[in-house]
Amino acid sequence: MCPRHRALYPLGTSCPKCNSARPRRHQSKSATARGYTYQWEKIRAIAIRQQPYCSFCGTDKDLTGDHIHPLKEGGQNVIENVRVLCRSCNTRRENDLRKGKRY
């Protein structure tokens, strides 16, 4: 939307009336920039090998590694800070954290 004319126009184009470019949305950092390195991949694989089921629901399908104490809150990529969750439990946990709930 052009702030001057309050007119909508498609992404990647400019306002047809004043030719001002549409501002870009925020782009997130890459996984490596957020702290998910090769070391994290190795630790996650070890955790899944040690416990081949979800810590919350017990399923053995689509497993992921989850930081108990998130990296953005000062957690580290160590085996003691990783638990195994299925993708749906991991997503549910992340959504709950954004709403203020803690697990």
- Angstrom distance (rounded) from CA 7 to CA 19: 12
Residue 90 lies in a domain: yes
> Domain count of the chain?
1
- In a domain, residue 19? The reply is no
Rounded to 5°, angle at Cα 28 from 25 and 30: 145
Report if residue 67 sits inside a domain: yes
The tens digit of pLDDT for each residue in 4-16 reads 666 666 655 666 6
Q: Each residue of 45-97: pLDDT tens digit? A: 999 999 999 999 999 999 999 998 888 888 899 999 999 999 999 988 777 76
Structural domain includes residue 54: yes
Instruction: Record the tokens describing residue 33, joined without a space.
Output: 């920039």
Q: Which domain holds residue 60?
A: 38-98
pTM for the model stands at 0.65
Residue 43 pLDDT greater than 90, yes or no? yes
With bands split at pLDDT 50, 70 and 90, how would you rate the model's confidence at 34? confident
Residue 31 within any structural domain of the chain:
no
Identify the CATH number of the domain in which residue 78 sits: 1.10.30.50
* Residue 25 domain flag: no
H/E element, 67: strand 63-67
At 48, is the secondary structure helix, strand, or coil? helix
